[in-house]
Amino acid sequence: MKKLFIVLFLVSSNVFAAEISVKVQGMVCSMCAQGIKKKFSTIKEVKGIDVNLGQKIVTITTEEGKDVGDDQIKKIITEAGYNVANIERK
């Protein structure tokens, strides 16, 4: 029973890295992708960033146990000159 409790606690406490998918409006070229990658690379909670221009999705992978809030994501994308259509966490 103790083992089950510990496993449930670890899963629910966001110990693992998070993957955040952001649908971005206005990205059309590789320069757009590079600009967004550069902005997110300065955030210490971000472990990796992938930009899919075809689907217009930015995927943010966070460090274990860390998170990037929706407001911060929206601010970075907006300051880069784009609009956030949707944020989804996996």
Whether 1 is in a domain gets the answer no
36: CATH = 3.30.70.100
- Asked whether the beta carbons of 73 and 22 are under 8 A apart, the reply is yes
Predicted pLDDT at 15: 54
Residue ranges making up the domain that contains 83: 16-89
Whether 69 is in a domain gets the answer yes
Strand 57-62, strand 46-52: pairing: antiparallel
Tell me the whole-structure pTM to 2 decimals: 0.80
Whether 71 is in a domain gets the answer yes
Whether 9 is in a domain gets the answer no
Whether 4 is in a domain gets the answer no
Average pLDDT (43-68) is 95
Average pLDDT (67-74) is 96
Q: How confident is the model at residue 48 (pLDDT cuts 50, 70, 90)?
A: very high
Average pLDDT (74-86) is 94
The count of domains in the chain is 1
